Each structure stands twice: as structure tokens, then as C-alpha cells.
Structure 1
Amino acid sequence: MTDKLKVSLRDGETPSQAMARVALTPECLSAAVLVDSKMMGDVDVTEVVDELRRQTAAINNGDLTRPEDMLLAQAHTLDSLFAQLTGRALRSQQRDGLESYMRLALKAQNQARATLQTLAELKAPRQVAFVQQANIGNQVQVNNGTIRQPARTRKSAKAPNELLEVEHGERLDTRATGSAGGADSAVATVEAEHRAQKPGRKGRGRA
């Protein structure tokens, strides 16, 4: 292939450098396989490379006609393989041959399906939506395996108890009896001075 490949030298390049640059391009590597397979007959490899370059340029410009045609042709080829392998499996006289051919037939069928799916996505690309998730709930801090709520949450947890204390007075404490205050002592003194004497005691005083 290298004897027939025509390479143009760039400024400052040696013939060996120019050959290495062109030979490693995707178009040249593909052309080498196509020409070596003898499927194209006696064709100049340089012409094959130039045609592949034109097709690559078309794809870069947004023209996907060639890839679409290629995928459709490959899908037809795979479908043909599926039919041929299925026929051989049915004609097989042994169970091992039946299973072997049917396994290959189903693989060809799956490849045909995948090829058509790729073709469909190429013609109508799927829209990918990027949704940014917002975390609105309270954050929870975890330290050494202990879940610790933020200060705002702890404060709000105490708010109902404080509200009940303000509305309904102090909470009842049944564990200890409180001492009487100054107001209670004054009421006891007034009650002792103005308490009415019982009738029995008055009579005994006169006697």
C-alpha cells in the first residue's frame, strides 16, 4: 500500500514523516483494510483515502447521509444472516447443531435491532434534560454516628412547651410542697383576729 500511496510533503517534513502522518489517519487505516480485502478490485489506495476524507468532511459539516445509509445496509445484512442461520438450525439433524445455529441467529437478530436503534437515535437524537435538585429541608449534621439537628430545629421543638407555660401558668410540680409566701401569712393573721367565736365558748366565759 505504501508504494502506491501518494503523499504531499508539508513545510519542513521529511518523506518518512509525511508517510507516518498520513498512514496513521483513520481514512488511511480504513483504506488499507478495504484494499487488502480485494473486495474493491484493483483500485488505487490514494483514491480510496481521498474518498474517505470527503465522507469525513461531510460528516463534520453535519451531513449524516452516508452513516445513515451504512447503518441501514448493515441492518439488512444482519437480518439476512439471521434468516440464513435460522434455516440451518431447522435443517440440522443434531441437537448441538440446532442450538449452535440458533444461538448465532439470535445474536445476529440482536445486532440488527441495535443497529436500527442507533440509526433511529442518529436521525432523532434524544433530548437530555439536566434538572438541578434543590434541597429545601433542614440539614442534618452527623458526627461520629450521632444525628444532630440544627439549632433552628431544636429551638422550634421547645417553642410549644414555652407557649403552654405562658397560656396556662406554671407547670404543676407534685414532687415537693412549696413554702407559703408573704401574701399567705397576711391572710392567716387577718383570719385569726376576725374569726367568730363559737357559741359554746362564749357561754362558758360568762359563767
Structure 2
Amino acid sequence: MEQKLTVELQADETPGQALARTVTSPECLSASVLTICQNIDQSQITEMVGELKQQTAAIRADDLSRAESMLIAQAHTLDGLFARLASLALTTGDLDAMERYMRLAFKSQSQARATLQTLGELKTPKQIAFVRQANIGNQVQVNNDSGASRARARKNKKAPNELLEVEHGERLDTRATGSAGGVDPAMAALETEHRPKKSGRKGRIRA
């Protein structure tokens, strides 16, 4: 039977654009695969697309019942594969075949566990783990700031000493001595100009 796909033309959209939008939609791509896997006549692809759009709308409305049913069904399927492959491994007389079967069995077991874990996270989101991660990030940021602050403090502590040595080096250097000794040159000039004359009293004392 000829395949029939209904294409809805939206406003300000050409027929070619409408066809491209429809065939590339997730619902249409999934319907194409499902019709082949389930051996459904491709003339029913429009109904398949419509059903998938309804399930997509339910997810957008926070209705996760379909997703929960899908995950639990997949977990049962993977668990059945594990049991089947493990049975084949135990009943075969070929060591290499047994190793291959057991490897596939353990992969099925791991996938079943991961599927159930996803189902649990879907029903109970890990909000606490998200908060813990945010706290760790803040702690790392604070530690980085503390390290930078300590580095700046050491630099600022060293800077005044260096500045003091440059600007006031003469006063800090106790080894350097002036030629005038302990007398200020300005004061020495005043002493010479205003020196009092010798008095007779001073001569009498010398006698």
C-alpha cells in the first residue's frame, strides 16, 4: 500500500518548508522506525506520528507515566536477556563461547541496573546532590580568594619597608657619618656670626 503522510501547512510557510519540518520532527523519525520494527503498514504512519505527538505533549505537561512504564519494561527486557545469556554460557561446552555469552550477560545486567537507576532518579530527582555540588564550588572560590588575599598581604607588608629604605635610606644607614659631626651646618654659621666678644671676666678667670 502506498505510504501516506499528512503534512499540515502552518501560517507563512511554503509546502516545501512544511514537508521538511514534518519529516525531520522527532515524532516522524520515530514513527518511521517503529513501523518497520513492528511490521506495521507504512500507510498508518500518520496515526503513529499523531500518537507520538500526544505522548510528547504529556511529557511537556510533566506527565511522566509513559516514561516510567517504558523504563520498567526495558529493565525487565534486559533482565530477561541476562538470564538467557547466562543460561547459554552455562550450558555450552565451548570455553570461548561461554566467555562471550557471559560478557554479554553482564552487559545486559549492567544496563538493567542503569535503567532502574534512571527510573529512580526520574521519580525522585537528586536535588540534594545538586546543592552539595554548588557548596563545593563556593568553597573553592573562597579558598582561592583567601590565597590571593594572603599573597596581597605579604606584598603590602613588604612594600613599606622597601619604600622606607629608598626614601629614608640616609637615616636608616647608621654607618654613614656627616663631615660636620653632630652640629647642624646652619646652626654652625649662626654661631660664627653672632659669637660674643671675649670679656675681661674670662681673662681674669684664666689668670
TM-score (norm 1): 0.65
Aligned twin of 1:126? 126
One-letter identity of the residue aligned with 1:90:
L
- 1:90-101 correspondence runs (5 A): 90-101=90-101
Report what 1:44 is aligned to. Answer: 44
Q: Taking every aligned residue pair, what percent have the same amino acid on both sides?
A: 49
Matched pairs, number: 150
**Partner SS for 1:108:** helix
CA contact (8 A) 2:23 2:29 kept: yes
Considering only aligned residues, what root-mean-square deviation do their CA atoms show, in Å? 2.6
Higher RCO (Cα < 8 Å, 6 or more apart): 2
**1:192-207 → structure 2 map (5 Å cutoff):** none
The answer on 1:62 being equivalent to 2:62 is yes
* 2:96 counterpart letter in structure 1: D
Q: Which has more radius of gyration?
A: 1
| Matched residue, 2:88 | 88
CA contact (8 A) 2:27 2:49 kept: yes
The answer for the alignment partner of 1:149 in structure 2 is 154
> How far does residue 17 in structure 1 lie from its aligned partner after superposition?
1.9
Q: Does 1:19 align with 2:19?
A: yes
Q: Does the Cα contact within 8 Å between 1:35 and 1:43 map onto a contact in 2?
A: no
Instruction: Note if contact 1:141-1:150 (Cα within 8 Å) is conserved in structure 2.
Output: yes
Question: Which whole-Å CA distance do the structure 2 matches of 1:115 and 1:151 have between them?
Answer: 58
CA displacement at 1:125 relative to structure 2: 0.4
The answer to whether the 8 A contact 2:27-2:53 is kept is yes
- The residue number in structure 2 matching 1:107 is 107
Q: Contact (CA 8 Å) 2:3, 2:42: kept in 1 or not?
A: no
2:28–2:49 Cα contact (<8 Å) kept: yes
Q: How far apart are the structure 2 equivalents of 1:14 and 1:3?
A: 22
